[in-house]
Every structure is written in structure tokens, then in C-alpha cells.
Structure 1
Amino acid sequence: MTRIHVYAGDCTTTYHGGDGPRRERGRVVVVHKPDGTLLVHDAEGYQPVAWLTRANAVHRETDGEGGFGLVAVKDGERLRVESRADADHASYGATAAGTEVGDCPDCAGLLVRARGAVSCLDCSGEYGLPRDAATLDSTCDCGLPRMAVERGARFELCVDRDCERLDAAVRERFDREWSCPDCDGDLRVLRERTLFLGCENHPDCETTFALPDREVVGICECGLPRVRSDDSTDADESASGAEPAYPADARCLDPDCTETPETV
């Protein structure tokens, strides 16, 4: 478990940055976080009087008499905090703080969602999430929470990618579902950092499309899927009053498409 170091005492703080040097002294509390962030707090308010976030390096010095010195550097910035006399120091185990989403099946600790991951507060368990995933109240057979992700359709999967893989679920549903508009090939579900649709005849055909992160609700005249837009709520009624096949503002997967949508 990572640790937060806390110092308290009569300190001199010196900051060097774009506005020139700034020097302050007072009885303060200094927080050194695991990501290299250094915060200096005095008796007033919530805002630190000096700080350097995510420093490239933080060096700690001791004088053998209970004092300390901290130096944080980042690009052209430098923050030094030096105690003037004996100072207090303590360290505490620390984790991400987030929304409770369940219990860890490995140690029975609490699972929280924070900063794009589900993490256990008591062990090293951590499961990265897609940026737009929603955690669900349901639980996988392995004991971990499930999540919902939209990639052309709604997929409900375990948060552990080694248990259920989003890539496999999307390929099973959409691989070769549509033909390439520029040749006779099929569009395959591929991954290079992110999932996308690419023609199977690559490199002869370089046609690619971003995999939709909204529901596919119809087919465009060009043969590509039409995707529900972010604010789609209602569908237009046709002249005959029949239910349409897609919302009025659904868009073609190809942003440059000029075809009209297919009606059924």
C-alpha cells in the first residue's frame, strides 16, 4: 500500500517558478502524496499556501536533530520546505477514495470506483474501466461488480477483463456485421489502443471508422449503421403515422455521409 507522509512544524517555504522566487515562513502542515504532490497548509482556509503537483522528483533530507528538508522539482519549478527546529513526522497508508461498489472477493475489503478504476481498499486488487463504463448493482459469478458499456449495443460485463472481455463481446456481436463502403470487404472489429472498425482488405483498402459508443438504431442508405446521438429521445413520426426505425437525429457512422436514412 502506498503511503502519505505528513510533516508539521515551524518551516520556511521557498518556491522558484515563472514569477520568480517566493519565500514564506510559518507553523504549517506539509503533505507529501505518493504521486509526488507536495502541499503546504497553514491555519487558514482549504487552499495550500504553496504547492507543487505531481513533481518529477521529491527529495527528503534530515538533519539528525528532528528537522527535515523537502525539495520537489518539476520542469522549471522548484519547491523547498525546510523546518527551523524539531518537527513532527508521520506516515499513513493511503488509497484512492471513491464510490462504494461492492466487496472484494479476494479479501472481503471494500471496493470503490475512483479515477477510472475499481480498487480494493485493503489489498492490491485494481480493475481498470473503460472511460464511459457504468458500474452496476449486479455481481459477476467471480464476486466482482459488473459494468455496462455501450459500443453499438449495451454490453454488461465483469469489471475484470480477465473474466469477461469487452473486445470479445463486441467482436461476437459486430465483427463482419457491415460491408466496407469502398470495396467488397467486410468491416472487422479491431484494436489499436482503442476498438475500431477496419476493412478486412487492409492494406489495399484503408477504410476505418470509430466504433460507435452509442446504440446502433438503423441502417443508412450507404449501408453503414446509424447511431443514436447523445441527446436522442424521441423518434420522428412518418407521414402515415407509422413508427420509424430510428430516432430523427440518429447519425450515420460515416460523418461525411450525405445519404438519407433507410426507412422500414
Structure 2
Amino acid sequence: MASELRLFAGACTTTFEGTRSRTQHGYVVVLVKPDDTVLVHDADGYQPVAWLTRPDEASVETTCDGTDTAHGGFTITAQTGDQRLTVESHGEGTVRTFPIGEAGVPVGECVATDCEGTLARTGGDVACVDCGERYGLPAGATVLDRQCDDCGLPQIRVDRGETFEVCLDYTCESLNDRIRERYDRAFDCPDCGSDLRIRVTDGRPFFGCEGYPDCETAFSIPAGVVVGLCDCGLPVFETATGRRCLDGTCDSYLE
């Protein structure tokens, strides 16, 4: 869900106590972000005249008239250690609150009930900018410009041994199930000869020896595609950083 950005404007005295101590007075705009970062801007340039990033303590006191564009006095205080920022209005100021959320690359439309928001990719997730519905992305995943036939969410492309194209929502179509169908028992354990099984821990698939717990051999699955076999019998993966054996410690494979 969106958080709130608070905006204050008016004739203010701004006092900063600490390494860059100074006092200023003038008509300014003050932004208080969801993480309590305080930014004080005047009409000169893009750099704030005073700021305190993610303070340990922050408080806002207002005397507002309750209208949509609220008017009244305000005092903003933020402190981290011996750094203290105080902004105090003189006379009537303006106080507004706006919803604010993450910004990302648009990849589709939300399918949640009663929501018509936009899905945006923000780092390792895809989230709706309106309702906040969120979907995790596997490492190295590409969000495709086409939708799942069943639920309407975008599909993703993921390299895990081979290239899989599945729904963004793992409850609709499971990437782990696709990997299991393709690679369960496809290779032998290099230590005991038993089958390597596809197992899942914390949502992440890996190769684990069928002989567990007597044999604890296990390998994470790289983000890449299988291009051959190593002399040790395990698959060789083509990854973004080059070719490597499934066993990252194996010295049998030389590119």
C-alpha cells in the first residue's frame, strides 16, 4: 500500500544544530518522507537548504483548520545523535498529505479484485502501485510483454538449466514444479552415485542427493542454461559470468 508524503509550506525559521549549524528564515517548502527524512527547500536551486536523512526521532505538531488544504501553524523536529533539525512556521502555513509509493517500470495491469492499478517492476519484485499487491521475482528473471492465459498477470522468463516461461504468480504456475519435471533424477550424485533430486527450501529449488541424510551432497541451481557435461558428470551451465560446473568447487571443468 502507498505511504504518505507530508508537505508543509510557509514562512519558517529553520534551525540546524550539529556539524553544519545554521539558522535561516524565509518562505520554504518542507517535505517529510515516509521514512521521516526531512527536506527543506527554498526557491534557489535543487539542493535543500537543510535536511536530515532517516532520523532516529521525528515529530510533527500542527494547528490546522481541518480543510482539504489545511492551514495552520506547524513545528517539525528531527534528531539523530547530536544532529537536530527544527522547522517552525510563523503565522499561517499550508499542510498537505499525499499518497506516495514505489516507482518502477510498468509491466502490466493488476488483477486483484476491485483494483485497476498498474504493475511496476521495482528491483526484485513486481508490485501494484495502487493496492500494493506484490509478487517476488527469481534472480535474473525477465518480465515478458504477454499475459498468463489463466490469470492475466504477466509471464516471466527464467533460466534454470533451461529457459522456462511461467506466470508471475507462482500459485498460478510454479517454476519449481517445472524445474522438478525437467531435472528431478536427471543427474547422479558425484559422491555416492544416488539420484540427485530437485528439492525446495525457502522457495528456492536445489539439487539434493536422494541418499540424504547419509549423503548431504547438495548444489544450488545457477541462473543459466545447461550447455554440456563436466568430466565429473554434473551439468555445465552458461551463466552471465561465464561457464561453470553445477558444483562451484569443481576443478574438473575448464572452459
TM-score class normalised by the smaller sequence: 0.7 to 0.9
**CA 1:204–1:43 in structure 2 vs 1: closer, same or farther (change >3 Å)?**
farther
**CA 1:77–1:150 in structure 2 vs 1: closer, same or farther (change >3 Å)?**
farther
The equivalent position to 2:219 in structure 1, one of 195, 201, 209, is 209
Q: Which runs of 5+ in 1 are unaligned?
A: 233-249
Asked if structure 2 preserves the Cα contact closer than 8 Å seen for 1:219 and 1:261, the reply is: no
Map of 2:21 onto structure 1: 22
The equivalent position to 2:184 in structure 1, one of 169, 175, 183, is 175
TM-score normalized with structure 2 length: 0.80
Map of 1:256 onto structure 2: 249
Within 5 Å, which residues of 2 pair with 1:13-52? 13-15=14-16, 20=19, 22-25=21-24, 26-52=26-52
Map of 1:199 onto structure 2: 209
Asked if structure 2 preserves the Cα contact closer than 8 Å seen for 1:28 and 1:40, the reply is: yes
Distance in 2, Cα, partners of 1:199 & 1:165? 22
Q: Which runs of 5+ in 2 are unaligned?
A: 65-70
Distance in 2, Cα, partners of 1:39 & 1:260? 55
User: Post-superposition shift, 1:40?
Assistant: 2.2
User: Post-superposition shift, 1:55?
Assistant: 4.2
**CA 1:158–1:218 in structure 2 vs 1: closer, same or farther (change >3 Å)?**
same
The equivalent position to 1:116 in structure 2, one of 121, 124, 130, is 124
Q: One-letter code of the match for 1:217?
A: V
Map of 1:236 onto structure 2: none
Map of 1:237 onto structure 2: none
Q: Percent identity?
A: 48
Q: Secondary structure at the match of 2:72?
A: coil
Q: Secondary structure at the match of 1:153?
A: strand
Q: Deviation digits for residues 17-76 of structure 1, max 9, x if unmatched? A: 6xx352342432111222333322222333333333444553212257922122334577
Map of 2:12 onto structure 1: 11
Q: Deviation digits for residues 121-150 of structure 1, max 9, x if unmatched? A: 333433232342211111012111111122
Distance in 2, Cα, partners of 1:258 & 1:31? 56
TM-score normalized with structure 1 length: 0.78
**CA 1:258–1:111 in structure 2 vs 1: closer, same or farther (change >3 Å)?**
closer
Q: Secondary structure at the match of 2:60?
A: strand
Distance in 2, Cα, partners of 1:207 & 1:190? 14
Is 1:105 the counterpart of 2:115 in the alignment?
A: no
**CA 1:83–1:205 in structure 2 vs 1: closer, same or farther (change >3 Å)?**
farther
Asked if structure 1 preserves the Cα contact closer than 8 Å seen for 2:222 and 2:239, the reply is: no
Residue range with higher mean Cα deviation, 58-67 or 169-178: 58-67
Q: Secondary structure at the match of 1:88?
A: strand
Within 5 Å, which residues of 2 pair with 1:72-91? 72-73=78-79, 78-91=84-97
Asked if structure 2 preserves the Cα contact closer than 8 Å seen for 1:12 and 1:23, the reply is: no
Residue range with higher mean Cα deviation, 193-202 or 132-141: 193-202
